[in-house]
Amino acid sequence: MKIATWNVNSLKVRLPHLLEWAGQAEPDLLALQEIKQENAAFPHAELAALGYQAVVSGQKTYNGVALLARAAQSAIVTEIPGYADLQRRVLAATVNDLRVINLYVVNGQDPQSDKFRYKLEWLQAVTAWIAEELRSHPRLVVLGDFNIAPEDRDVYDPESWYEQVLCSSAERAALQRLLALGLHDSFRLCHDDGGHYSWWDYRAAAFRRNQGLRIDLLLVSDALRQRVVAAGIDTAPRSWERPSDHAPAWVTLQ
């Protein structure tokens, strides 16, 4: 089973890219972030033509997440239980024997900002929720745009990014608390080296110079760890005309 995640940074703009990539890569399950459109505008028909059923938690202009699957999805959750948040950033569903949680983690803007404090608070609430989900669903995948580079090897220039947003000690500690629940970075189960990135700034020819960060993650639970057979990042769509600033990341489970 191939599972992928992609921050498309506006589905209206990137729909041709999504259709092309999904048609080529053929993931069985695909999580999208930053669709930036309301539920009524979601292109169900176009994706159904590729064999996907979609569940959506959309939002006009900002945020918005979706899950595409070749199988039926059930037990849908669109909010962190007990956490009041108007931003559409989470979407959970059960697909076959898997529980899947799609996250669009808060960016945070700057470590001194209110948005950064919101990010840490949001991550705390997400971690508590996922702990509960793991108790009921041991076969769990948590994936999406985490807006956190887990380690320095996930950053093209760790010195220049030191304690900056996406790479700060506070954010990395929050991610480690999530992993400590019994989750594993599937990419690191397959690759030890640095130089692999999933996001590149639009400015300063960052993609051409491979000046990126690996912030799009697929985490698998203890029960799924031995089922991971391959993982990667498909950088090709980042080179297409009018691309998202993110590339799709994926994992294959037995």
Report pLDDT digits (tens) over 197-228. Answer: 999 999 999 999 999 999 999 999 999 999 99
pLDDT on residue 122: 98
Going by pLDDT thresholds of 50, 70 and 90, the confidence category of residue 72 is: very high
Q: Based on the number of CB atoms within 10 Å of its own CB, is 237 exposed (0-12), middle (13-18) or buried (19 or more)?
A: buried
pLDDT on residue 77: 98
pLDDT on residue 81: 96
Round the average pLDDT of the chain to a whole number and report it. 98
Instruction: Express each pLDDT in 121-144 by its tens digit.
Output: 999 999 999 999 999 999 999 999
pLDDT on residue 118: 98
pLDDT on residue 166: 98
Catalytic residues: 104, 145
Return the SS3 of 4: strand
**Distance from C-alpha of 153 to C-alpha of 157, rounded to nearest angstrom:** 9
pLDDT on residue 172: 98
Going by pLDDT thresholds of 50, 70 and 90, the confidence category of residue 8 is: very high
Query: What is the pTM for the complete model shown?
Result: 0.98
Q: How many domains does the chain have?
A: 1
Q: 104-107 contacts: CB < 8 A, separation 24 or more?
A: 104/7, 104/33, 104/34, 104/63, 104/64, 104/65, 104/144, 104/145, 105/144, 105/145, 105/146, 105/147, 105/148, 106/147, 107/147, 107/165, 107/166
Return the SS3 of 13: helix
Are 43 and 17 in contact, with CB atoms under 8 Å apart? Answer: no
* Domain enclosing residue 33, as ranges: 2-253
Going by pLDDT thresholds of 50, 70 and 90, the confidence category of residue 177 is: very high
DSSP annotation string for 185-226: EHHHHH---S---SEE-SSTTTTTTT-EE--EEEEEEHHHHT
Going by pLDDT thresholds of 50, 70 and 90, the confidence category of residue 246 is: very high
Going by pLDDT thresholds of 50, 70 and 90, the confidence category of residue 182 is: very high
Are 174 and 148 in contact, with CB atoms under 8 Å apart? Answer: yes
pLDDT on residue 55: 98
CATH of the domain at 87: 3.60.10.10
- Phi first, then psi, for residue 232 (nearest 5°) are -170, -175
Are 190 and 207 in contact, with CB atoms under 8 Å apart? Answer: no
